[in-house]
Structure 1
């Protein structure tokens, strides 16, 4: 359930900010294919990764997990 919530929020927040997967990945120091896998619920994100993505998206990390 949390993986789905995270994936949905990641995709929504990225889109709302007009970021491509590649732009988000570059800003967070991650690989674009990893961002894609997170959005498709293939992988779970570590707390460190959630923090990196939240920082780039300009939100507190816990917001990535809110339903």
Structure 2
């Protein structure tokens, strides 16, 4: 489970950096590497999206355990 959380977090970071490049420079790194509209680029986009959805689980887990509240009181 820990490996999956780390892998999905890395993919979410990659996706966020890609969107930053798109927003700042109009440059889509995934499309540049794999080809715009290619099947492989679509797979990468889907994996990033699924990774973001998966990262909701640790977020709600941390919120439910009171981890956020404990850090705010420090």
Q: TM-score range by the shorter chain?
A: 0.3 to 0.5
Question: Max radius of gyration: which structure?
Answer: 2
Could you state the TM-score of these two structures normalised by the residue count of structure 1?
Answer: 0.41
Could you state the TM-score of these two structures normalised by the residue count of structure 2?
Answer: 0.38
Higher helix share: 2
